[in-house]
A and B are shown apart, each in its own frame.
Chain A
């Protein structure tokens, strides 16, 4: 879905001259609706079925999305050209890539909003309650089916926003998803399933370890370090750095 978000941001930029920072809220909103509809229409009927069936359903959706992108946009890589892609900020001896700094700030802002949503709003608290204790949530009268759909919608909105930010960093091709899916898994497992702070920490750890490994050794060996870190975490703390044991 992130790839679809990237394509939408590219379309918004190319045809409506809307920069990704401006198209981001629109894409996130659209993705929320899509995610909500997808959950209610397709995923919800599968919720009580065996896990392999749920997995196959999501795999089928992913295949449809990839091939849909391929059919509509073709195999070419599509990118956007921004002046900031050649910019950097200098802080003493440190040089920061401008688009990455912008993307990082936007990601932190979204993470902050999510935190506020989950801790300060009634529906956010209800989602957490349903995640903590499904039966308890039903007993107190929460509409868990709706909460599932809202949660899926929020997840989809975050993915759409990520796509709008990613298009500023790399061009998009229909087949881009696979390597980022793997990376996302590594980050979530290292950080800890179910922990938002863990996901942030995992992302930071993987990014920094790859960069340091690239500098100290050969850059072509850098992904070896992130997978090494994954193995280490799985061996020593299987629930992830900030994950809870029952979240596995």
Chain B
């Protein structure tokens, strides 16, 4: 066997092309390579078991696709996300936050529920580790002078103010205004903050309806028959629920069973009515209820990427604001890390305070935080359940479908 070696122009050309190809090949993958090695350790604290498990899991799905979406959007950051289950309990949240910090978490993210978030916030503040709040509306979270906390979610007054404005827009657009409303609210940290906010803001907003009663119930309630009977007895035109997933289901079941057909079930800024499990289990009785909450911006390229990644990874699950806000928390962490170029808490916190993210997924202005760590640029939309899907119906400029108001009765043919 012979081994001939010759140096010709042709061979030189081939070698040059091959070398260029070898060097250039990774270019399309450069964002993926730039993401490695992962060295921002994010502790994601969520209620993935217990009473809020389904919502916690919906939040987690948003984080599960975060690195893929960051790569799609050419953001050169890869996060090492470690999950911690708060078991829907504030005391466990506190312990898990301690555990996450001991395990070397650089940033904490969580925790959907206000009570659990406050418990985590105290740990974050004591240990000087940044906490990015994905979802939690109780005002004290950013009103207590904490220095290591930012919140990318509206406060209860922001939710209520947005909802009240949308109520008026809805009545104007439909030409129908309810004369009375009854508030049915759970009595946990979130519910209490909402009730306080509604009582304070109701007169200021000059609402066209009278709030005839405020009925509270335990967050762990397994039966809302008495509560709904009491609300029905007020003969209010509109029911305003402040609830979560399980109680939202109980509430609507009771409404149907007690044959109470208010003009609308329209919340003043609360979860429950738009959740995937609610829509699935309530069937036709889950239709037409309206949630006035922040929502995913269908016009954002990042939302498109998030929806695509979410649909590919979780084909049986719906992307909603739980996943949206949790993804945004990861986006904020990534931006802060890129700006800080460090995992030191002070540097990360400094970067978080200065962050300005124009491209994100929730309707509203750029993500940026005021001196208290609150993002004040988040806007609310009226989302109506139509054909088993939460659909933006207000404000009109963002509407994806026409509003149906008043909502049809339980046996109306439009409910299918």
Instruction: Report which of B226, B246, B258 forms a contact with A219, defined as CB distance below 8 A.
Output: B226
Chain B contacts to A: CB under 8 angstroms:
48-51, 53-54, 57, 85, 187, 215-218, 220-227, 229-230, 246, 253, 256-259, 281, 283, 285, 410
Flag if A97 contacts B53 (CB, 8 Å): no
Please name 29 pairs of A and B residues whose Cβ atoms are closer than 8 Å in the assembled complex, sorted by A.
Answer: A70-B49, A76-B53, A76-B57, A77-B54, A77-B246, A79-B281, A81-B281, A81-B283, A86-B253, A86-B410, A87-B257, A88-B258, A90-B259, A95-B257, A95-B258, A98-B257, A169-B223, A170-B222, A171-B246, A173-B51, A179-B222, A215-B226, A219-B215, A219-B224, A219-B226, A219-B230, A220-B216, A220-B218, A222-B226
Closest Cβ–Cβ distance, residue A166 to chain B (whole Å): 9
Closest Cβ–Cβ distance, residue B96 to chain A (whole Å): 15
Closest Cβ–Cβ distance, residue B68 to chain A (whole Å): 25
Task: Decide if A112 is an interface residue (CB 8 Å cutoff).
Answer: no
Closest Cβ–Cβ distance, residue B248 to chain A (whole Å): 13
A-B contact count (CB 8 A): 71
Query: How would residues 195 to 226 of chain A score, 1 for a CB under 8 Å from any chain B CB and 0 otherwise?
Result: 00000000000000011001100111011000
* Chain A residues near B258 (CB-CB < 8 A): 88, 95
Task: Decide if A136 is an interface residue (CB 8 Å cutoff).
Answer: no
Flag if A223 contacts B246 (CB, 8 Å): no
* Chain B residues near A175 (CB-CB < 8 A): 50
* Chain B residues near A222 (CB-CB < 8 A): 226
Chain A contacts to B: CB under 8 angstroms:
70, 74-77, 79, 81, 85-88, 90, 95, 97-98, 169-171, 173, 175, 179, 210-211, 214-215, 218-220, 222-223
Flag if B50 contacts A214 (CB, 8 Å): no
* Chain A residues near B256 (CB-CB < 8 A): 86
Q: How far is the CA of A79 from the CA of B410 in the complex (A)?
A: 22
* Chain B residues near A74 (CB-CB < 8 A): 49
Closest Cβ–Cβ distance, residue A121 to chain B (whole Å): 36
Instruction: Report which of A77, A86, A214 forms a contact with B53, defined as CB distance below 8 A.
Output: A77
Closest Cβ–Cβ distance, residue A37 to chain B (whole Å): 30
Flag if A179 contacts B220 (CB, 8 Å): yes
Instruction: Report which of B215, B223, B257, B281 forms a contact with A170, defined as CB distance below 8 A.
Output: B223
Q: How far is the CA of A77 from the CA of B285 in the complex (A)?
A: 20
Flag if A75 contacts B49 (CB, 8 Å): yes
Flag if A214 contacts B230 (CB, 8 Å): yes
Flag if B50 contacts A75 (CB, 8 Å): yes
| B49 (CB) vs chain A CBs: closest residue | A75
* Chain A residues near B54 (CB-CB < 8 A): 76-77
Q: How far is the CA of A211 from the CA of B83 in the complex (A)?
A: 41
Instruction: Report which of B220, B230, B246 forms a contact with A215, defined as CB distance below 8 A.
Output: B230
Q: How far is the CA of A214 from the CA of B225 in the complex (A)?
A: 10
Instruction: Report which of B57, B218, B257 forms a contact with A88, defined as CB distance below 8 A.
Output: B257
* Chain B residues near A211 (CB-CB < 8 A): 225-226
Q: How far is the CA of A95 from the CA of B226 in the complex (A)?
A: 12
* Chain B residues near A76 (CB-CB < 8 A): 53-54, 57
* Chain A residues near B217 (CB-CB < 8 A): 219-220
